[in-house]
Chains A and B, each alone.
Chain A
Amino acid sequence: MEFAELIKTPRVDNVVLHRPFYPAVEGTLCLTGHHLILSSRQDNTEELWLLHSNIDAIDKRFVGSLGTIIIKCKDFRIIQLDIPGMEECLNIASSIETSEWRLSYVNKEFAVCPSYPPIVIVPKSIDDEALRKVATFRHGGRFPVLSYYHQKNGMVIMRSGQPLTGTNGRRCKEDEKLINATLRVGKRGYVIDTRSLNVAQQARAKGGGFEQEAHYPQWRRIHKSIERYHILQESLIKLVEACNDQTHNMDRWLSKLEASNWLTHIKEILTTACLAAQCIDREGASVLIHGTEGTDSTLQVTSLAQIILEPRSRTIRGFEALIEREWLQAGHPFQQRCAQSAYCNTKQKWEAPVFLLFLDCVWQILRQFPCSFEFNENFLIMLFEHAYASQFGTFLGNSESERCKLKLQQKTMSLWSWVNQPSELSKYTNPLFEANNLVIWPSVAPQSLPLWEGIFLRWNRSSKYLDEAYEEMVNIIEYNKELQAKVNILRRQLAELETEDGMQESP
């Protein structure tokens, strides 16, 4: 990748440069492939030419929408740039920041970790040899990799499998080094273990375990308890059964809904995701997330945290990319988890509605922030359907390596290529969407987490009136756009007439 490709904002006007011994200069800031240039665009005034390679460190500060970047150079010089506009400032900063991450092809043949994709992002300072060692210390070879980079403050979410400490407290220096490499000097990070302390301790007997404080002194561990496998599957079976029985009286319905525990799982997953997002955005700390294998609850948490933190993941393309990255490439075993659904009597061991729970959580956030998502509920329902049964290859197999072996790219169609056709896309577009660049914090109180009727009551009650109301809403929005456009045209017309008048009237 060329460096120039990283430049999102090549030019900003009205930037003020502060240097020692010189008065402040206002001018235009330009980024080229090699230099940072400031020009006041007046003759005979000095200009700043700074090699990117001369930058040692940068700091960012914001006062309102005015951003300040302090550049500390390798020759000990320190200069300051005041950049109007938060977005511009962030873009400039991220372009000149020297990346601490690299792409690793260590898993090219799927030999190091069968459930990982061929290319992963890891700390720059860790070489492939170290990664191989770390892989032997993590469940399923799932060594810590980058899941999300928070542009605002450079904090990251990493994910992995559990460390294989076992009962005798095995350790792995490379593992410690790897995750410490992601920390800034003097900063602590958080390990979010999606299992309760009890479960994590029990895992040691089977060779698993968790990060011991003694070996990871810069990390604070938080245990949450997100349920797994058959517990989730049973929850789904109970919920669907409760929803399907129309004869239940009120008490029975409520007690069955409660006993299904579905919404308890939703609350637990969302809370953990919010916690991870909070660590990143509010505490300014990086996070490592794992459970046991790192293919289920881990992915629920990392992907939901991104929905909360990253506006792009709330767009259609961004959400598709999120699923591609955090579910498909990250090795969520769709084939196993979605083999059977709520009605099957012959229970196998591996089914679990992990992905459906994730979609339900997204729906909950969508419900609380109905204007912050580019897609609507139907998009989530469609993904649910395709995860369980699909004419497309996208959700087949349990990992990238399986999909490669099956030659799915050659033999099947991708769901995304179908969905992204304009005619299909229009069904899934949220008419209320207004892009916002903010972190969105959902409420996780039980009073704020209703049952997802669009999925669970879909075949049990008519949604005729609700659908009609939705259509009416769309009509109002469309009509609004039409009127706005018409007003604009008429205004222009009138303005033209007025200038014509003026011209005619002036002698």
Chain B
Amino acid sequence: MEHIRTTKVEQVKLLDRFSTSNKSLTGTLYLTATHLLFIDSHQKETWILHHHIASVEKLALTTSGCPLVIQCKNFRIVHFIVPRERDCHDIYNSLLQLSKQAKYEDLYAFSYNPKQNDSERLQGWQLIDLAEEYKRMGVPNSHWELSDANREYKICETYPRELYVPWTASKPIIVGSSKFRSKGRFPVLSYYHQDKKAAICRCSQPLSGFSARCMEDEHLLQAISKANPVNRYMYVVDTRPKLNAMANRAAGKGYENEDNYSSIRFQFVGIENIHVMRSSLQKLLEVNGTKGLSVSDFYSGLESSGWLRHIKAIMDAAIFLAKAIMVENASVLVHCSDGWDRTSQVCSLGSLLLDSYYRTIKGFMVLIEKDWISFGHKFSERCGHLDGDPKEVSPVFTQFLECVWHLTEQFPQAFEFNEAFLLQIHEHIHSCQFGNFLGNCQKEREELKLKEKTYSLWPFLLEDQKKYLNPLYSSKSHRFIVLEPNTVSFNFKFWRNMYHQFDRTLHPRQSVFNIIMNMNEQNKQLEKDIKDLESKIKQHKNKQTDDILTKELLHSVHPESPTLKTSLCFKEQTLLPVNDSLRTIEGSSPADNRYSEYAEEFSKSEPAVVSLEYGVARMTC
């Protein structure tokens, strides 16, 4: 709290981001220890977590006040106008401090308390069990075993303790290979395809320079290919552009020489590095943030940002993996430079194409836990959790989510979860509200004692799973039904609901998805109602026959049970609100009113008309 000088400012204006007529809402701005809160005159609340703030900017003073622009990591952009410069300055300074923490212990997760006791908390952390996951894949087995080489993080600090390797790979081989790989990240199992007996393995680049070799590394690769009883050659996929990989050779790193490794087929797939991705997203956001954007600026901006090209490259690489396993029955070893960015993208996406389990809510959590969290994707650095090197920040995980979203668009029935699930996960990789994504590797997380001091996100998502269910999901599908996405360029679209998540004026006013989702829920309720009613009718019929019998026998009259009647009334009432919720159109706040954007001419002269009719936004159908 020591950073907060002003906790409340009144008469603050929140500008509509896309309004060409400077439409705004007036309200009060509050600053808490964890959030920035704006309550407008309609009592609508906008909460912004300090950790979500990517940048705060104070613009030049205007006649109406001091503009403050806040850009968030979840792509929310808010533009406030604070009447007094002094207040604006205070808030600006506070936000600068609050949004960039120096220590992990100052992050929200360490103070967040969802009112659970210690055992509930622990249970939450045990929800995802990777040992279980490997068992589900079918390892250990006669070809693959659990290695204890990294039990104490001695061989590789950024890998998890538990690693699966071919059983023929002895400890000296592992140690030797790890010395020949960047950051000691030697080849290990990422996914095992039980049906094909083929594996996806992952590692970092070899320290081959121009001519160096390592017998142990060559052995390990051979062991991996021999662990596949069907096909003896395997693919080594370097996810980098060839030029980058070659440049790395000068620094004593590089890529595998096919001549030195028996039975490998080497392949580049050309995904760009974190710096290219960072600036690509930046360009994309710049274009989209433009007021009064023209169609041709939008598309030329989309093109020059290169964003969709990168998404397609990642998708193509994942498809390469899936094909190698399904068509050629070959194992694949994937690496990039350090093997924690592009490698995580490609391995996880490849597995998702191959195994329908990862397309379920729980399975998707497992996938993220396995290929991203445990294998040391540097979440804290990539998401800029702490005040650190801005050059380490990169939307690598966001790209993974976007690839999954593209798959959900092409295969609307293949995923148990919906878009809201992806958006919620994206929200939380930056929120620092839960411990899952803090730190850069498992070792660091253990040192931070996250399991004792913070909560896991997954049980909370699972508890809320109704919100994240895809109503069209067809669960009948067989486990090994492979998704074969079409990656012709026209299939890649701009993900409006991610990058304009908070710009409601750009969204469809009625969501088919929500309607179907509610209807699905309602159907379940109706099925229950039918059962209830049927049993009550049966009861009544029995009672009538009983009554006749008793009447004949005793000539006595029983008063009707009052509980029956009340419960029936209650049921009838509950049906209605469900119906009503189906009818409401999304984005029903006055701020969403977008009609004045068609022409500037009116809004200037007649602002009174603008506020007259919010019926459009509040409409029901």
The answer to whether B599 touches A432, judged by C-beta atoms less than 8 angstroms apart, is: no
> With contacts A369-B510, A432-B512, A476-B523 known, is A461 near B486, CB below 8 A?
yes
Kindly name the residue among A252, A443, A444, A476 whose own CB sees the greatest number of chain B CB atoms within 10 A. Answer: A443
The answer to whether A271 touches B510, judged by C-beta atoms less than 8 angstroms apart, is: no
Q: How far is the CB of A482 from chain B (nearest CB, A)?
A: 9
The answer to whether A274 touches B474, judged by C-beta atoms less than 8 angstroms apart, is: no
Among B505, B512, B560, B602, point to the contact of A282 (Cβ < 8 A). B602
The answer to whether B526 touches A483, judged by C-beta atoms less than 8 angstroms apart, is: yes
Interface string of B561-602 (1 = CB under 8 A from A): 000110010001001000000010100000001111111011
B491 within 8 Å of A (CB atoms): yes
The answer to whether B509 touches A250, judged by C-beta atoms less than 8 angstroms apart, is: no
Among A222, A255, A443, point to the contact of B303 (Cβ < 8 A). A255
Q: How far is the CB of B471 from chain A (nearest CB, A)?
A: 6
A43 within 8 Å of B (CB atoms): no
The answer to whether B303 touches A447, judged by C-beta atoms less than 8 angstroms apart, is: no
Could you jot down 28 A-B contacts, CB within 8 Å? Answer: A246-B488, A254-B489, A258-B295, A258-B299, A258-B303, A266-B295, A274-B595, A275-B598, A283-B602, A369-B508, A371-B510, A371-B515, A434-B621, A441-B616, A443-B594, A444-B598, A446-B299, A447-B506, A465-B413, A465-B414, A469-B412, A473-B516, A476-B471, A480-B523, A494-B568, A501-B547, A504-B551, A505-B557
- How far is it, in angstroms, between the C-alpha of A246 and the C-alpha of B487 when the chains are bound? 9
- How far is it, in angstroms, between the C-alpha of A473 and the C-alpha of B512 when the chains are bound? 9
The answer to whether A432 touches B303, judged by C-beta atoms less than 8 angstroms apart, is: no
Interface string of A442-466 (1 = CB under 8 A from B): 0111111111000001001110011
| Cβ contacts under 8 Å, B615 to chain A | 438
| Cβ contacts under 8 Å, A368 to chain B | 508-510
> With contacts A249-B489, A461-B491 known, is A502 near B560, CB below 8 A?
yes
| Cβ contacts under 8 Å, B602 to chain A | 278, 282-283
Please report which residues of chain A, range 314-370, place their CB below 8 angstroms from some CB of chain B when the two chains form the complex: 367-370
- How far is it, in angstroms, between the C-alpha of A359 and the C-alpha of B612 when the chains are bound? 32
B contact residues vs A (CB 8 Å cutoff): 18, 288, 293-300, 302-303, 306, 308-309, 312, 410-414, 471-472, 474, 486, 488-494, 496, 500, 505-512, 515-516, 519-520, 522-523, 526-527, 529-530, 533-534, 536-537, 540-541, 543-544, 547, 551, 557-560, 564-565, 568, 572, 575, 583, 585, 593-599, 601-602, 606, 609, 612-613, 615-616, 619-621
Q: How far is the CB of A331 from chain B (nearest CB, A)?
A: 27
Interface string of A216-252 (1 = CB under 8 A from B): 0000001000000000000000000001001011111
> With contacts A253-B489, A283-B609, A436-B620 known, is A491 near B598, CB below 8 A?
no
> With contacts A440-B616, A501-B543 known, is A484 near B510, CB below 8 A?
no
- How far is it, in angstroms, between the C-alpha of A497 and the C-alpha of B572 when the chains are bound? 17
| Cβ contacts under 8 Å, A445 to chain B | 18, 293, 505-506
The answer to whether A486 touches B520, judged by C-beta atoms less than 8 angstroms apart, is: no
The answer to whether B523 touches A372, judged by C-beta atoms less than 8 angstroms apart, is: no
Among B299, B526, B612, point to the contact of A480 (Cβ < 8 A). B526
A267 within 8 Å of B (CB atoms): yes
The answer to whether A436 touches B523, judged by C-beta atoms less than 8 angstroms apart, is: no
> With contacts A275-B598, A371-B515, A441-B616 known, is A491 near B533, CB below 8 A?
yes
| Cβ contacts under 8 Å, A460 to chain B | 488, 490
The answer to whether B520 touches A476, judged by C-beta atoms less than 8 angstroms apart, is: yes
The answer to whether B508 touches A282, judged by C-beta atoms less than 8 angstroms apart, is: no
> With contacts A491-B533, A505-B559 known, is A480 near B616, CB below 8 A?
no
Q: How far is the CB of B543 from chain A (nearest CB, A)?
A: 7
Q: How far is the CB of A13 from chain B (nearest CB, A)?
A: 24
| Cβ contacts under 8 Å, A476 to chain B | 471-472, 516, 519-520, 523
Among B537, B551, B598, point to the contact of A271 (Cβ < 8 A). B598
> With contacts A250-B492, A490-B533, A500-B544 known, is A472 near B472, CB below 8 A?
yes
Smallest Cβ-Cβ distance to B508: which chain A residue: A368
The answer to whether B540 touches A498, judged by C-beta atoms less than 8 angstroms apart, is: yes
| Cβ contacts under 8 Å, A434 to chain B | 583, 621
| Cβ contacts under 8 Å, A243 to chain B | 490
| Cβ contacts under 8 Å, B529 to chain A | 487
Q: How far is the CB of A491 from chain B (nearest CB, A)?
A: 7
- How far is it, in angstroms, between the C-alpha of A464 and the C-alpha of B26 when the chains are bound? 49
| Cβ contacts under 8 Å, B537 to chain A | 490, 493-494, 497
> With contacts A255-B303, A275-B598, A501-B543 known, is A372 near B295, CB below 8 A?
no
- How far is it, in angstroms, between the C-alpha of A447 and the C-alpha of B302 when the chains are bound? 11
- How far is it, in angstroms, between the C-alpha of A494 and the C-alpha of B560 when the chains are bound? 14
A439 within 8 Å of B (CB atoms): yes
- How far is it, in angstroms, between the C-alpha of A457 and the C-alpha of B585 when the chains are bound? 30
> With contacts A432-B512, A494-B537 known, is A468 near B413, CB below 8 A?
yes
> With contacts A254-B302, A476-B471 known, is A372 near B510, CB below 8 A?
yes
Nearest 10 CB-CB pairings of A with B: A436-B621, A258-B299, A253-B489, A469-B412, A446-B298, A254-B303, A483-B526, A490-B533, A250-B309, A274-B598
The answer to whether A250 touches B526, judged by C-beta atoms less than 8 angstroms apart, is: no
**Given contact pairs A250-B492, A370-B510, a sample of 5 additional A-B residue pairs in the complex whose CB atoms are under 8 Å apart:** A438-B616, A461-B491, A497-B541, A498-B540, A498-B560
A263 within 8 Å of B (CB atoms): yes
| Majority secondary structure, B binding face | helix
- How far is it, in angstroms, between the C-alpha of A274 and the C-alpha of B597 when the chains are bound? 9
The answer to whether B594 touches A441, judged by C-beta atoms less than 8 angstroms apart, is: yes
Among B486, B490, B540, point to the contact of A451 (Cβ < 8 A). B490
A507 within 8 Å of B (CB atoms): yes
Interface string of A171-183 (1 = CB under 8 A from B): 0000000000000
Among A222, A371, A446, A493, point to the contact of B599 (Cβ < 8 A). A222
| Majority secondary structure, A binding face | helix
The answer to whether B516 touches A501, judged by C-beta atoms less than 8 angstroms apart, is: no
Among B523, B558, B597, B621, point to the contact of A371 (Cβ < 8 A). B621
Among B412, B488, B620, point to the contact of A466 (Cβ < 8 A). B412
- How far is it, in angstroms, between the C-alpha of A467 and the C-alpha of B112 when the chains are bound? 45
Smallest Cβ-Cβ distance to A436: which chain B residue: B621
A416 within 8 Å of B (CB atoms): no
> With contacts A466-B412, A494-B568 known, is A480 near B530, CB below 8 A?
no
Smallest Cβ-Cβ distance to B575: which chain A residue: A487
The answer to whether A497 touches B606, judged by C-beta atoms less than 8 angstroms apart, is: no
> With contacts A487-B533, A494-B533, A501-B540 known, is A480 near B522, CB below 8 A?
yes
- How far is it, in angstroms, between the C-alpha of A243 and the C-alpha of B537 when the chains are bound? 60
A28 within 8 Å of B (CB atoms): no
Kindly name the residue among B523, B541, B557, B612 whose own CB sees the greatest number of chain A CB atoms within 10 A. Answer: B523
Q: How far is the CB of B521 from chain A (nearest CB, A)?
A: 10
The answer to whether B621 touches A250, judged by C-beta atoms less than 8 angstroms apart, is: no
- How far is it, in angstroms, between the C-alpha of A440 and the C-alpha of B508 when the chains are bound? 11
> With contacts A254-B308, A468-B413, A502-B560 known, is A447 near B508, CB below 8 A?
no
Kindly name the residue among B295, B411, B529, B564 whose own CB sees the greatest number of chain A CB atoms within 10 A. Answer: B295
Please report which residues of chain A, range 261-314, place their CB below 8 angstroms from some CB of chain B when the two chains form the complex: 261, 263-264, 266-267, 271, 274-275, 278, 282-283
Q: How far is the CB of A496 from chain B (nearest CB, A)?
A: 9
A435 within 8 Å of B (CB atoms): yes
| Cβ contacts under 8 Å, B474 to chain A | 472
A130 within 8 Å of B (CB atoms): no
The answer to whether B526 touches A484, judged by C-beta atoms less than 8 angstroms apart, is: yes
The answer to whether B619 touches A436, judged by C-beta atoms less than 8 angstroms apart, is: yes
- How far is it, in angstroms, between the C-alpha of A505 and the C-alpha of B547 when the chains are bound? 9
Q: How far is the CB of A268 from chain B (nearest CB, A)?
A: 9
Smallest Cβ-Cβ distance to B536: which chain A residue: A494
A257 within 8 Å of B (CB atoms): yes
The answer to whether B613 touches A264, judged by C-beta atoms less than 8 angstroms apart, is: no
- How far is it, in angstroms, between the C-alpha of A443 and the C-alpha of B612 when the chains are bound? 19
The answer to whether B496 touches A448, judged by C-beta atoms less than 8 angstroms apart, is: yes
The answer to whether B534 touches A490, judged by C-beta atoms less than 8 angstroms apart, is: yes
Smallest Cβ-Cβ distance to A446: which chain B residue: B298
| Cβ contacts under 8 Å, B541 to chain A | 497
A101 within 8 Å of B (CB atoms): no
| Cβ contacts under 8 Å, B300 to chain A | 254-255, 258
> With contacts A251-B303, A258-B300, A476-B520 known, is A446 near B621, CB below 8 A?
no
